[in-house]
Structure formats: structure tokens, C-alpha cells
Amino acid sequence: MGKHIRNWVPCSAFSKFSLGTLSGIALDLVFPGTVLIWIGIFIILFSISVFLPKRFQIAESFVFGILFLLVVTVLFPSRFQREEKNTNVAVEKKTIFGKLERKFQEKFRERILLHLQKADLEKNSHRVALGLIFGEPKQLSKEFKQKAKEGGILHLFAASGLHLGILMGVQFSILSRIPGLGHNFPRIIPLLTGFIYLSALGYPVSLARAWIFAGMLLFQGLFFRNLRPVDLLLGSAWILWIWDPSRFYTVSFCLSFGAVTGIFLFSYPIKHFCNFLSDENFLSSFFKENLSISFSAGLGTMPVLLFAFGSFSFGSVLLNLLVVPLAGILLPILYLSLLLQETKIDFIIESSWSITEFLIQILSYLSNTLSKPLGFYKEMGDAVAIGILGWLCLALSVFSFAWISEKFFLNAVPFEKNFKNIQNSEYIYLNTKRIFSKKILPFAEIGLISWIVWIYILLYKSPELFPIENRIINNRFFFLLRNGDSLFLSGKCKYGFRALSKTFQTSKKNYCDTNKDGEALDKIFVEDESCLTWAFQCISDHPKIEILYAGRDPELWAQTSKMRIFKSQKTREIRLQGGSTILFFHTKKDSLEGLFRKTRTGRGWILLETPFGSKDNAQVWNRNRKLLGLPESWVFLEKDELQRIPISESF
């Protein structure tokens, strides 16, 4: 473990330079506007470290990296200064070679779409194939995408290192077996075809990261140099930042680097508690390798998913053990089928597409049926901090066990083959005296696995310790309200997309599942068609729920969506469980006489609706409430004031 930790110290001048630049970026994110202060601090520390022993000195390359950040942000502020925007939004496709490359991207897409159309795949298989080829989850149906998200396998449908690794790995495997091609040719050709694929997809950040990795490893092989994982990570991150600063701050970037960092950092210690799986047996060795990679990638992306989305699939390792090997078989056959389509030999094409569709259907079946029972998807809500603490505990547990087992149980353990071409002999250990008998090791491994499972169970249950209170989600144009067995989506939801997205990511169950009083959702009242998308998300797992729709074309929506949608009038009154009532009052369409009649008894809130551009507001109406003959138990509110309703009154 000592050498494993030491291998995370940058060894090249470029890595240290990159570390300096990236450290400056990180400090600016945490402490905005303080870059100059930190640069000054590092220069002072560098000056002091000159008088210290060499092992404590700050490398010149590190300081130059920070100074480089200062120079480029001053000279090119529009390019390198971070913009405050939603980092979850997909970034449009990029080109390096201008219009010619843009035309190539369009032709590539048209050609693939034409081949898939000729393949005559079943509708769902067609969508999955598009998602796998283009790495775009938007190609999937909303229901399938949601299940893939809950199962923690949505990464299969995002262009990533998995896709590029399979594409290049298959080529290298074939070319390296052809006599006479030498050492370099089988390595250069896959890299070139990988770049063509990267260009065709518009340089998605995760695929670009994987290609840069492959390029750095290629140069390592050509010049017989060894690179440490930290050198690969720092170098590729710096190159991506220089090339496309806007994508550097996206969630996709964080997830891509989080996954590969987790694999580099955790897969070696994780293999320590999988020693009961023999490396000599192919099946057990294959299972051990996939388990360590899946679990490591999950640990690497866990904090990013918790911070960005407030949710995590605690059983994603289990499902990935099934679908990732299947994707490793499916993707080469899918790429081969597209190539064979160019031959126009019907017999070969039909046979190839039959096998491809069969594998796609298996992948779809596993995703649809196992995502929920194996994914253990959980929206953490206010328990995100507990999730981060649990992640730290898991990471420390893995490292601690690896160190203990290596120090007290094992003799010479040559792990260099696990990181071939990256670290080589860095992991060869000298024989050491074993302190405890190896017979105790299986019990220690069982204990660690039980400990990890217990932490996962605790984290999965932690949101129940901090239940998110059901509340009204609203702005000037819409509101979302759960009242008993009914859910109300009033107004135009298209003007509240961000608020609704955040709500459904973190606390969807409060609005769509059984509430704390044991009442299951029975009806959803929808006014505008822009709100139907959110209603469909609620009933995806509960198809018997009725949607009472007051918008356009209810019959058409019912026919196309195959949901229980019924025509309804707009909601004008909501009786809350606390005994109060919400009345809707439009200043131009509703009469004061009708309002007076409804408010003679009881208490509640009058939701004011005004025509566009009207200067009427709730404050004026409340000031003149006595002149209108309304009792003080009724209060006028506007839609953006609904939070004034006490929780006890609304739920």
C-alpha cells in the first residue's frame, strides 16, 4: 500500500505544472476571486521551501503552473473565466476543423440513421442502438432512461471510455496478431480510428478524456516510458481545460474523471479482499476484475452524484456486473453490423443484425426488470452530508483493510500485472514476514464485506432519518401541491422547469408516493400540457393513478401515452387537510359576488389571478378586504407567495 500511495505523487514536470494550474482553478472555485492571494501565498511558500530539505521543497513546475493560470485568465478572460451557468445542461457539439468537420459529423449521423432504418429493428431496440452508438441518453425513451438511471447503468448510453476502449481494444487485439505489423502499427491505427469516432460524435468530454488517455499511453509505449495514474489524470485534465474550458466545469467532466480516478485509486486495494477468488480460474478472475472495477468506479462517482443530483444507486455494482460484460460483447457486434451494412450482402447483414438485436433485447430486459430491485436507487435529500461521510468511511475502510492484509497476512504479492503499461514493476514487493496465519484472512475479508454492506444499508436508510417535508413548489406562473391523495400541477410548468427538476430529483417520493399519513396518490390534477411530463413521471410506477387534465387534446394525450387521462375543468378550489381552503380568483373572469358567497364561512387563502400586464396585487386586495365584505379569516395571495401558507395548513 505504501508504494500504491507514493505512486499518486506526480513524477514528471508536466504533471506538476498541470497540478499547479488545476490547484489554482480548484481554489478559485472554493474561494472565488482570491486567485491573486493564493498565488502570492504559493510564491512565498516556494521561496521558503528552498531552504528546506529537498523532499519538502515545492517544485518550480507547480508554481509555473499557477502563474500560467494567472496569465491566461488575464489575457483571455472570456475564454478561461468561469461563467455562472447550469453545469447539468448538455454542451453542443464541437468541431476542430470547421465546416468540413461539421459536414462530416452530419454525414456520419445520416449514414448511421440510414443503416439502422434498413436494419428494421424493433422500436425500443432502435432507440437503445442509437443511445449506444451516439452516446446520447436523450435517444432513449423517458421510461427506459429513468430505469437506467435508477439502476446506475446510464453511463452505458453516454459516450465514454467504455465505448472507446472496446472500439480500440478490439482493433488492437486483431492487429497485434497479424505478423509483420511490428510494435507501433497495431497501436497507432486504433488511436486514429478512435479520433475519427471522437470527431464524429462532436468531442463529448468523457470520450475526449478517454482518447487523451489512450494517446498518452501510446506515447508511453512508443518511447518505453512509464506513466503513473496521477500523471495520466493531471495531464488529460489540463489538456481538456486548455482545449474546452466551458466543458471542464460540467458534471459530465466530474463523473468521467471521478470514475477513472476511482478505478486507479481503489481497484488495487479492493482486490485485497477478493483474494478468495482465484486468479488461475478464468471465471473467478473475470468476476474479480469486473467487481473491483465496478465497485471502484462507483466509489469514484459517488460524491459527484450526491452533490450534483442528491441521489445514488447503492446496488449499481450488482447490475453493472451483468450489463457491462454484456455491453462488451454487444458493442463490437453493433459496430461490425454497421460496417457490414456497407457490403450490401443481405445474408450476412441480416444474420449480424439478428444477433445484435437479440443482445440489445437482453440488455433492455435486464435494465427494465432489474434496475429497481437491484439498483437500490435513493434520493438522499437532506442526508447528502451523511452520504459524503459514508463515502469517506468506505474509502478509509478499503485502504485500511488493504494495508492490514498486506502487512500482517501476505508474503510477496506481485500485483504489477494489475496495472500493466501504467506502473509495471512499481507493485513488486519483496518477501516480508507474515505475522498472522493466512487462515484468519478469509474471516477478515468476510468481516470487511459485512462492514461495507452495513454502511451501504445505513446510507440507504439515512434519508428516512431526515424526511424532506412536503411543501408547495411555486413561482409566479405555476405551483405544485400534494394534498392528501391528490397532486395539483397548476399553471404553466414550462416556466418552472428548473425548480421542478430539482424537486423531482431530490424529493419525488413526497409528491408521488404514499404520504406520511398512509394515503396513496390517487389523482393528479393538471391544467397545462407542459405539466403532463411531470405527471407521467409520477405514474410511471403507478399506472392506475388518474390524470384529470384541463388542457388541450385530452383524448389525443390519452391515446398516445396510454395513460388514464380524463378531461376535466380547471381546479378552482382546493380543500386542505388542515381545515382551510385555497380559492382561485381571477380579477377579470370571476365575480365578486361568487367570491363573497364562497367566503362567508370557513377560512383560507384566495389565490389571485390577474391578466398579463395587470398592476393588481395581493397587497392592495388585502388592504381593501373589509370594503369587499370579506372576513379576516381569508387572505389574498399571489402564486409566488404560496409559501406563506403554514405547513400544518397545507398537508
List, as one string, the DSSP characters of 561-581.
H-S-EEE-PPP-EEE-TTS-E
In the three-class reduction of DSSP (H, G, I as helix; E, B as strand; rest coil), residue 638 is classed as: coil
In the three-class reduction of DSSP (H, G, I as helix; E, B as strand; rest coil), residue 478 is classed as: strand
Q: Among all chains, which residue has been given the C-alpha cell 483474494?
A: 275
Is 370:320 a contact under the CB 8 Å cutoff? no
Tell me the average pLDDT across 31-36.
78
* CB-count exposure of residue 440 (10 Å: 0-12, 13-18, 19+): exposed
Element (H, E) at 609: strand 604-609
Residue among 137, 187, 191 at smallest CA distance from 164: 191
Residue among 308, 315, 273, 278 at smallest CA distance from 294: 315
| Highest mean pLDDT (candidates 200-204, 344-348, 424-428) | 200-204
Helices of type H across 223-250:
229-243, 245-248
Q: Among all chains, which residue has been given the C-alpha cell 479482499?
A: 273
Give the count of alpha carbons within 13 A of 407, CB side only. Answer: 9
The reply to whether the predicted model has a pTM over 0.85 is no
Tell me the average pLDDT across 202-223.
84
pLDDT computed for residue 419 by the predictor? 43
DSSP strand pairing (486-491 vs 523-526): parallel
pLDDT for 438 beyond 70: no
Local confidence band at 454 (pLDDT 50, 70, 90 cut-offs) = very high
pLDDT for 21 beyond 80: yes
Q: Which three cell numbers stand for residue 601?
A: 364561512
Number of neighbours of residue 437 by Cβ within 10 angstroms: 9
Local confidence band at 650 (pLDDT 50, 70, 90 cut-offs) = very low
Cα–Cα distance measured from residue 621 to residue 639, given in angstroms and rounded to the nearest whole number: 14
pLDDT computed for residue 436 by the predictor? 56
> What digits encode the pLDDT tens for the residues 157-206?
887 888 888 889 889 889 888 888 887 888 889 999 999 999 999 888 88
Cα–Cα distance measured from residue 430 to residue 411, given in angstroms and rounded to the nearest whole number: 8
- Compute the mean pLDDT over every residue in the chain, rounded to the nearest whole number: 83
Local confidence band at 449 (pLDDT 50, 70, 90 cut-offs) = confident
Give the count of alpha carbons within 13 A of 602, CB side only. Answer: 17
> What digits encode the pLDDT tens for the residues 476-509?
888 888 888 889 998 889 888 888 887 887 778 7
Local confidence band at 462 (pLDDT 50, 70, 90 cut-offs) = confident
pLDDT for 422 beyond 70: no
Is 408:434 a contact under the CB 8 Å cutoff? yes
Residue 547 β-bridge partners: 524, 565
Question: Amino acid letter at 604?
Answer: G
pLDDT for 89 beyond 60: no
pLDDT for 595 beyond 70: yes
Cα–Cα distance measured from residue 113 to residue 512, given in angstroms and rounded to the nearest whole number: 37
Is 118:346 a contact under the CB 8 Å cutoff? no
Q: Which three cell numbers stand for residue 23?
A: 490547484
- Higher pLDDT: 390 or 544? It is 390
